[in-house]
Chain A
Amino acid sequence: MNRKKVLAETLPVLFLCVLGGSLAGYFLGSMTEIFELIPGLIVIVPAIIDMRGNICSALGSRLGSAMHLGMLEKGLTSDITLENFKGTMSLSFFVSLLFPIFLLITSFFLPFSVTWRVLGVIALISISTGVTSAVVLLLVTFLIILLSIKFNIDPDNVSGPVLTTVGDIATLIIMFGFATFFGGLFL
Protein backbone atom coordinates (compact mmCIF):
# COMPACT_ATOMS: atom_id res chain seq x y z
CA MET A 1 0.00 0.00 0.00
CA ASN A 2 1.27 3.41 -0.96
CA ARG A 3 0.74 5.41 2.26
CA LYS A 4 1.65 8.77 0.75
CA LYS A 5 -0.83 8.26 -2.09
CA VAL A 6 -3.66 7.46 0.34
CA LEU A 7 -2.85 10.47 2.52
CA ALA A 8 -2.41 12.84 -0.44
CA GLU A 9 -5.67 11.75 -2.07
CA THR A 10 -7.97 11.14 0.89
CA LEU A 11 -7.05 13.83 3.45
CA PRO A 12 -7.82 16.90 1.30
CA VAL A 13 -11.12 15.31 0.26
CA LEU A 14 -12.04 14.62 3.90
CA PHE A 15 -11.39 18.25 4.86
CA LEU A 16 -13.43 19.47 1.89
CA CYS A 17 -16.23 17.19 3.09
CA VAL A 18 -16.22 18.88 6.51
CA LEU A 19 -16.81 22.18 4.69
CA GLY A 20 -19.43 20.60 2.41
CA GLY A 21 -21.18 19.07 5.43
CA SER A 22 -21.39 22.49 7.08
CA LEU A 23 -22.87 23.91 3.87
CA ALA A 24 -25.50 21.13 3.81
CA GLY A 25 -26.35 21.91 7.44
CA TYR A 26 -26.78 25.55 6.49
CA PHE A 27 -29.16 24.64 3.61
CA LEU A 28 -31.18 22.40 5.94
CA GLY A 29 -31.42 25.22 8.47
CA SER A 30 -32.90 27.54 5.85
CA MET A 31 -35.65 25.07 4.88
CA THR A 32 -37.68 25.33 8.10
CA GLU A 33 -40.74 26.77 6.35
CA ILE A 34 -41.23 23.75 4.12
CA PHE A 35 -40.98 21.44 7.15
CA GLU A 36 -43.78 23.37 8.83
CA LEU A 37 -45.91 23.04 5.68
CA ILE A 38 -45.31 19.29 5.40
CA PRO A 39 -45.18 17.83 8.95
CA GLY A 40 -43.37 14.50 9.06
CA LEU A 41 -41.06 15.28 6.14
CA ILE A 42 -38.21 16.19 8.51
CA VAL A 43 -38.23 12.67 9.96
CA ILE A 44 -37.32 11.05 6.66
CA VAL A 45 -34.82 13.71 5.51
CA PRO A 46 -31.76 12.21 7.28
CA ALA A 47 -32.72 8.76 5.97
CA ILE A 48 -33.21 10.04 2.38
CA ILE A 49 -29.80 11.74 2.48
CA ASP A 50 -28.11 8.70 4.00
CA MET A 51 -29.60 6.30 1.45
CA ARG A 52 -28.54 8.55 -1.43
CA GLY A 53 -24.99 8.48 -0.03
CA ASN A 54 -25.16 4.72 0.56
CA ILE A 55 -26.42 3.76 -2.89
CA CYS A 56 -23.94 6.00 -4.69
CA SER A 57 -20.91 5.25 -2.50
CA ALA A 58 -21.61 1.56 -3.12
CA LEU A 59 -21.74 2.32 -6.86
CA GLY A 60 -18.42 4.18 -6.62
CA SER A 61 -16.93 1.35 -4.58
CA ARG A 62 -18.07 -1.26 -7.16
CA LEU A 63 -16.65 0.76 -10.03
CA GLY A 64 -13.41 1.18 -8.04
CA SER A 65 -13.16 -2.58 -7.68
CA ALA A 66 -13.99 -2.99 -11.40
CA MET A 67 -11.14 -0.63 -12.24
CA HIS A 68 -8.67 -2.54 -10.04
CA LEU A 69 -9.83 -5.76 -11.68
CA GLY A 70 -8.88 -4.26 -15.04
CA MET A 71 -12.47 -4.17 -16.29
CA LEU A 72 -12.26 -0.47 -17.11
CA GLU A 73 -9.16 -0.58 -19.30
CA LYS A 74 -11.26 0.45 -22.27
CA GLY A 75 -12.91 3.12 -20.13
CA LEU A 76 -16.51 2.94 -18.99
CA THR A 77 -17.87 0.35 -21.41
CA SER A 78 -21.55 0.31 -22.15
CA ASP A 79 -22.39 -2.94 -20.33
CA ILE A 80 -20.74 -1.95 -17.02
CA THR A 81 -22.29 1.50 -17.26
CA LEU A 82 -25.73 0.15 -18.13
CA GLU A 83 -25.84 -2.61 -15.47
CA ASN A 84 -24.71 -0.20 -12.74
CA PHE A 85 -27.18 2.39 -14.01
CA LYS A 86 -30.03 -0.12 -13.83
CA GLY A 87 -28.90 -1.39 -10.42
CA THR A 88 -28.66 2.11 -8.96
CA MET A 89 -31.97 3.30 -10.40
CA SER A 90 -33.91 0.22 -9.26
CA LEU A 91 -32.43 0.48 -5.74
CA SER A 92 -33.20 4.21 -5.57
CA PHE A 93 -36.80 3.66 -6.66
CA PHE A 94 -37.26 0.76 -4.25
CA VAL A 95 -35.86 2.63 -1.23
CA SER A 96 -37.78 5.85 -2.07
CA LEU A 97 -40.96 3.81 -2.06
CA LEU A 98 -40.13 2.43 1.40
CA PHE A 99 -39.69 5.80 3.15
CA PRO A 100 -43.37 6.80 3.30
CA ILE A 101 -44.26 3.24 4.35
CA PHE A 102 -41.68 3.28 7.15
CA LEU A 103 -42.88 6.73 8.18
CA LEU A 104 -46.42 5.35 8.44
CA ILE A 105 -45.26 2.34 10.49
CA THR A 106 -43.26 4.47 12.94
CA SER A 107 -45.70 7.39 13.05
CA PHE A 108 -46.81 6.51 16.61
CA PHE A 109 -43.48 8.08 17.67
CA LEU A 110 -44.65 11.45 16.39
CA PRO A 111 -46.28 14.03 18.67
CA PHE A 112 -48.75 14.80 15.85
CA SER A 113 -50.72 12.64 13.41
CA VAL A 114 -49.78 12.41 9.73
CA THR A 115 -52.82 12.59 7.42
CA TRP A 116 -53.12 10.38 4.32
CA ARG A 117 -52.96 13.50 2.18
CA VAL A 118 -49.64 14.56 3.74
CA LEU A 119 -48.34 11.00 3.49
CA GLY A 120 -49.24 10.97 -0.21
CA VAL A 121 -47.35 14.23 -0.75
CA ILE A 122 -44.36 12.84 1.16
CA ALA A 123 -44.45 9.72 -1.05
CA LEU A 124 -44.44 11.90 -4.19
CA ILE A 125 -41.53 13.97 -2.83
CA SER A 126 -39.60 10.86 -1.76
CA ILE A 127 -39.91 9.08 -5.12
CA SER A 128 -39.26 12.10 -7.36
CA THR A 129 -36.30 13.19 -5.20
CA GLY A 130 -34.91 9.65 -5.09
CA VAL A 131 -35.06 9.14 -8.85
CA THR A 132 -33.84 12.62 -9.85
CA SER A 133 -30.94 12.71 -7.39
CA ALA A 134 -29.95 9.18 -8.49
CA VAL A 135 -29.57 10.39 -12.09
CA VAL A 136 -27.48 13.40 -10.97
CA LEU A 137 -25.28 11.29 -8.68
CA LEU A 138 -24.81 8.58 -11.33
CA LEU A 139 -23.41 11.21 -13.68
CA VAL A 140 -21.13 12.56 -10.92
CA THR A 141 -19.93 9.01 -10.13
CA PHE A 142 -19.09 8.23 -13.76
CA LEU A 143 -17.30 11.59 -13.98
CA ILE A 144 -15.21 10.78 -10.87
CA ILE A 145 -14.24 7.40 -12.33
CA LEU A 146 -13.28 8.96 -15.69
CA LEU A 147 -11.24 11.70 -13.97
CA SER A 148 -9.59 9.12 -11.68
CA ILE A 149 -8.49 7.11 -14.71
CA LYS A 150 -7.24 10.23 -16.47
CA PHE A 151 -5.29 11.67 -13.52
CA ASN A 152 -4.15 8.29 -12.13
CA ILE A 153 -6.03 8.64 -8.83
CA ASP A 154 -7.27 5.59 -6.93
CA PRO A 155 -11.08 6.09 -6.96
CA ASP A 156 -11.35 4.09 -3.71
CA ASN A 157 -9.57 6.96 -1.93
CA VAL A 158 -11.89 9.73 -3.10
CA SER A 159 -15.23 8.50 -4.47
CA GLY A 160 -16.95 7.74 -1.12
CA PRO A 161 -16.38 11.13 0.56
CA VAL A 162 -16.99 13.15 -2.64
CA LEU A 163 -20.22 11.31 -3.45
CA THR A 164 -21.71 11.55 0.04
CA THR A 165 -20.94 15.28 0.21
CA VAL A 166 -22.14 16.15 -3.30
CA GLY A 167 -25.09 13.82 -2.66
CA ASP A 168 -26.08 15.61 0.57
CA ILE A 169 -26.14 19.03 -1.05
CA ALA A 170 -27.74 17.95 -4.36
CA THR A 171 -30.40 15.85 -2.61
CA LEU A 172 -31.35 18.68 -0.25
CA ILE A 173 -31.72 21.14 -3.13
CA ILE A 174 -33.70 18.68 -5.29
CA MET A 175 -35.91 17.72 -2.34
CA PHE A 176 -36.54 21.37 -1.53
CA GLY A 177 -37.66 21.90 -5.14
CA PHE A 178 -40.08 18.96 -5.18
CA ALA A 179 -41.36 19.71 -1.67
CA THR A 180 -42.16 23.29 -2.65
CA PHE A 181 -43.83 22.10 -5.87
CA PHE A 182 -45.95 19.24 -4.46
CA GLY A 183 -46.61 21.07 -1.18
CA GLY A 184 -47.87 24.11 -3.06
CA LEU A 185 -49.96 21.94 -5.37
CA PHE A 186 -51.69 19.69 -2.82
CA LEU A 187 -51.42 21.29 0.63
Chain B
Amino acid sequence: MKYHWKNIFKESAGILALMAFIGITGGHVLESIEEQLILFPVLLFLVPILNGVGGNLGAVLGARLSSGLHTGYIEADYLDEEVKENLLMTLLMGGMVFGGLAIGVSLSSFAIPLGLTFTQLIMIVIGAGVITTVSITFITVFTTLYSYNKNMDPDNVVIPIVTTACDFIGIVALVLMIWLVII
Protein backbone atom coordinates (compact mmCIF):
# COMPACT_ATOMS: atom_id res chain seq x y z
CA MET B 1 0.00 0.00 0.00
CA LYS B 2 1.62 3.22 -1.23
CA TYR B 3 -0.33 5.42 1.16
CA HIS B 4 0.22 3.71 4.49
CA TRP B 5 -0.22 6.29 7.24
CA LYS B 6 3.12 5.40 8.84
CA ASN B 7 4.92 6.25 5.58
CA ILE B 8 3.05 9.54 5.36
CA PHE B 9 3.97 10.35 8.95
CA LYS B 10 7.62 9.28 8.61
CA GLU B 11 8.25 11.32 5.47
CA SER B 12 6.39 14.42 6.63
CA ALA B 13 6.99 14.72 10.38
CA GLY B 14 10.66 15.73 10.28
CA ILE B 15 10.26 18.33 7.57
CA LEU B 16 7.10 19.76 9.19
CA ALA B 17 8.84 20.03 12.58
CA LEU B 18 11.79 21.84 11.02
CA MET B 19 9.52 24.20 9.09
CA ALA B 20 7.37 24.84 12.18
CA PHE B 21 10.50 25.84 14.09
CA ILE B 22 11.61 28.15 11.27
CA GLY B 23 8.06 29.54 11.13
CA ILE B 24 8.07 30.38 14.84
CA THR B 25 11.50 32.01 14.55
CA GLY B 26 10.11 33.98 11.60
CA GLY B 27 7.21 35.01 13.83
CA HIS B 28 9.66 36.49 16.33
CA VAL B 29 11.52 38.33 13.55
CA LEU B 30 8.27 39.71 12.17
CA GLU B 31 7.34 40.89 15.66
CA SER B 32 10.68 42.67 16.04
CA ILE B 33 10.29 44.65 12.78
CA GLU B 34 6.62 45.30 13.42
CA GLU B 35 7.22 48.98 14.23
CA GLN B 36 8.81 49.60 10.84
CA LEU B 37 6.00 47.76 9.11
CA ILE B 38 3.40 49.90 10.85
CA LEU B 39 4.91 53.00 9.18
CA PHE B 40 3.37 51.71 5.95
CA PRO B 41 0.11 49.92 6.81
CA VAL B 42 -0.24 48.85 3.17
CA LEU B 43 2.86 46.72 3.73
CA LEU B 44 1.15 44.82 6.54
CA PHE B 45 -1.81 44.23 4.25
CA LEU B 46 0.43 42.97 1.43
CA VAL B 47 2.57 40.55 3.49
CA PRO B 48 -0.04 37.78 3.90
CA ILE B 49 -1.24 38.16 0.29
CA LEU B 50 2.28 37.88 -1.15
CA ASN B 51 3.04 34.90 1.11
CA GLY B 52 -0.30 33.28 0.31
CA VAL B 53 -0.25 33.67 -3.47
CA GLY B 54 3.43 32.70 -3.65
CA GLY B 55 2.77 29.59 -1.56
CA ASN B 56 -0.26 28.71 -3.68
CA LEU B 57 1.66 29.04 -6.94
CA GLY B 58 4.30 26.73 -5.49
CA ALA B 59 1.68 24.29 -4.17
CA VAL B 60 -0.06 24.01 -7.57
CA LEU B 61 3.23 23.62 -9.44
CA GLY B 62 4.49 21.06 -6.90
CA ALA B 63 1.25 19.04 -7.05
CA ARG B 64 1.28 19.05 -10.87
CA LEU B 65 4.92 18.02 -11.13
CA SER B 66 4.47 15.31 -8.46
CA SER B 67 1.48 13.80 -10.28
CA GLY B 68 3.47 13.90 -13.52
CA LEU B 69 6.46 12.18 -11.93
CA HIS B 70 4.26 9.53 -10.24
CA THR B 71 2.46 8.68 -13.47
CA GLY B 72 5.65 8.87 -15.52
CA TYR B 73 4.68 11.50 -18.06
CA ILE B 74 7.29 13.85 -16.57
CA GLU B 75 10.97 12.87 -16.39
CA ALA B 76 12.90 13.94 -13.27
CA ASP B 77 15.08 16.17 -15.43
CA TYR B 78 15.33 19.96 -15.45
CA LEU B 79 15.33 19.98 -19.24
CA ASP B 80 12.14 17.91 -19.57
CA GLU B 81 9.66 19.71 -21.84
CA GLU B 82 6.75 19.26 -19.38
CA VAL B 83 8.86 20.63 -16.51
CA LYS B 84 9.75 23.70 -18.58
CA GLU B 85 6.15 24.20 -19.67
CA ASN B 86 4.82 23.92 -16.09
CA LEU B 87 7.50 26.34 -14.94
CA LEU B 88 6.60 28.93 -17.60
CA MET B 89 2.89 28.51 -16.83
CA THR B 90 3.54 29.28 -13.15
CA LEU B 91 5.55 32.40 -14.02
CA LEU B 92 2.73 33.53 -16.32
CA MET B 93 0.05 33.02 -13.66
CA GLY B 94 2.18 34.79 -11.04
CA GLY B 95 2.54 37.75 -13.39
CA MET B 96 -1.22 37.86 -14.02
CA VAL B 97 -2.24 37.66 -10.34
CA PHE B 98 0.35 40.17 -9.11
CA GLY B 99 -0.40 42.46 -12.08
CA GLY B 100 -4.08 42.40 -11.09
CA LEU B 101 -3.20 42.93 -7.43
CA ALA B 102 -0.89 45.87 -8.32
CA ILE B 103 -3.66 47.57 -10.29
CA GLY B 104 -6.21 46.93 -7.53
CA VAL B 105 -4.01 48.21 -4.70
CA SER B 106 -2.81 51.22 -6.73
CA LEU B 107 -6.35 52.21 -7.74
CA SER B 108 -7.46 51.99 -4.11
CA SER B 109 -4.77 54.60 -3.30
CA PHE B 110 -7.04 57.16 -4.98
CA ALA B 111 -9.86 56.32 -2.57
CA ILE B 112 -7.89 55.64 0.64
CA PRO B 113 -4.68 57.56 1.38
CA LEU B 114 -1.97 54.90 1.69
CA GLY B 115 1.02 57.23 2.10
CA LEU B 116 2.44 56.15 -1.27
CA THR B 117 1.80 57.37 -4.82
CA PHE B 118 0.10 55.36 -7.58
CA THR B 119 3.39 54.72 -9.45
CA GLN B 120 5.26 53.79 -6.26
CA LEU B 121 2.58 51.23 -5.36
CA ILE B 122 2.54 49.71 -8.86
CA MET B 123 6.33 49.35 -8.81
CA ILE B 124 6.42 47.89 -5.28
CA VAL B 125 3.69 45.27 -5.82
CA ILE B 126 4.87 44.21 -9.29
CA GLY B 127 8.54 44.16 -8.23
CA ALA B 128 7.85 42.15 -5.06
CA GLY B 129 5.48 39.87 -7.01
CA VAL B 130 8.07 39.16 -9.71
CA ILE B 131 10.82 38.42 -7.15
CA THR B 132 8.48 36.12 -5.18
CA THR B 133 7.10 34.29 -8.24
CA VAL B 134 10.48 33.68 -9.86
CA SER B 135 12.18 32.46 -6.67
CA ILE B 136 9.25 30.26 -5.61
CA THR B 137 8.98 28.69 -9.07
CA PHE B 138 12.62 27.67 -9.12
CA ILE B 139 12.62 26.49 -5.48
CA THR B 140 9.55 24.33 -6.22
CA VAL B 141 11.04 22.72 -9.32
CA PHE B 142 14.31 22.07 -7.49
CA THR B 143 12.76 20.57 -4.32
CA THR B 144 10.30 18.43 -6.33
CA LEU B 145 12.94 16.89 -8.58
CA TYR B 146 15.46 16.59 -5.73
CA SER B 147 13.07 14.81 -3.34
CA TYR B 148 11.81 12.51 -6.12
CA ASN B 149 15.38 11.55 -7.02
CA LYS B 150 16.01 10.83 -3.32
CA ASN B 151 13.08 8.36 -3.37
CA MET B 152 10.79 10.55 -1.28
CA ASP B 153 7.21 11.36 -2.22
CA PRO B 154 7.37 15.02 -3.32
CA ASP B 155 3.68 15.32 -2.32
CA ASN B 156 4.80 15.07 1.31
CA VAL B 157 7.82 17.38 1.38
CA VAL B 158 7.58 20.07 -1.32
CA ILE B 159 4.63 22.08 0.02
CA PRO B 160 5.98 22.66 3.57
CA ILE B 161 9.37 23.76 2.22
CA VAL B 162 7.88 26.02 -0.45
CA THR B 163 5.36 27.80 1.81
CA THR B 164 7.93 28.38 4.55
CA ALA B 165 10.46 29.70 2.01
CA CYS B 166 7.75 31.95 0.61
CA ASP B 167 7.01 33.48 4.01
CA PHE B 168 10.57 34.76 4.13
CA ILE B 169 10.92 35.65 0.45
CA GLY B 170 7.64 37.62 0.42
CA ILE B 171 8.75 39.84 3.31
CA VAL B 172 12.29 40.30 1.98
CA ALA B 173 10.98 41.15 -1.51
CA LEU B 174 8.57 43.76 -0.10
CA VAL B 175 11.18 45.40 2.12
CA LEU B 176 13.65 45.40 -0.79
CA MET B 177 11.14 47.02 -3.17
CA ILE B 178 10.09 49.63 -0.61
CA TRP B 179 13.74 50.43 -0.05
CA LEU B 180 14.43 50.68 -3.82
CA VAL B 181 11.32 52.70 -4.67
CA ILE B 182 11.16 55.12 -1.75
CA ILE B 183 14.77 55.70 -0.84
A-side residues, CB < 8 A to B, are: 1, 3, 6-7, 10-11, 13-15, 17-18, 21-22, 24-25, 42-47, 50-51, 53-55, 57-58, 60-62, 64-66, 68-69, 71, 79-80, 82-88, 90-91, 94-95, 98-99, 102-103, 106, 109-110, 154-157, 159-161, 164-165, 168
Contacts and interface: CB of A to CB of B under 8 A. Distances in A.
B60 A10 contact: yes
A54 B100 CA distance: 26
A80 B23 CA distance: 30
Interface in B91-111: 93, 96-97, 100-101
Nearest to B156: A58
Contacts of A91: 8-9, 12-13, 16
Given A46-B167, A51-B23, A54-B160, A83 B3 contact: yes
Contact of A99 (B5, B24, B31, B167): B24
A173 B100 CA distance: 29
A24 B48 contact: yes
Interface string B1-37: 1111101110011001101110111111011100000
Given A156-B60, A157-B64, A159-B63, A109 B23 contact: no
A50 B164 contact: yes
A95 B28 contact: no
B137 interface: no
Nearest to A29: B44
A53 B55 contact: yes
A60 to B, nearest CB: 7
A165 B9 CA distance: 23
B100 to A, nearest CB: 7
A53 to B, nearest CB: 6
Interface residues of B, number: 60
B59 interface: yes
A164 B55 contact: yes
A98 B20 contact: yes
B80 to A, nearest CB: 11
A102 B24 contact: yes
A55 B8 CA distance: 10
Contacts of A57: 59, 63, 159, 163
Contacts of A51: 16, 19-20, 23, 160
B179 interface: no
Given A25-B48, A156-B64, A65 B155 contact: yes
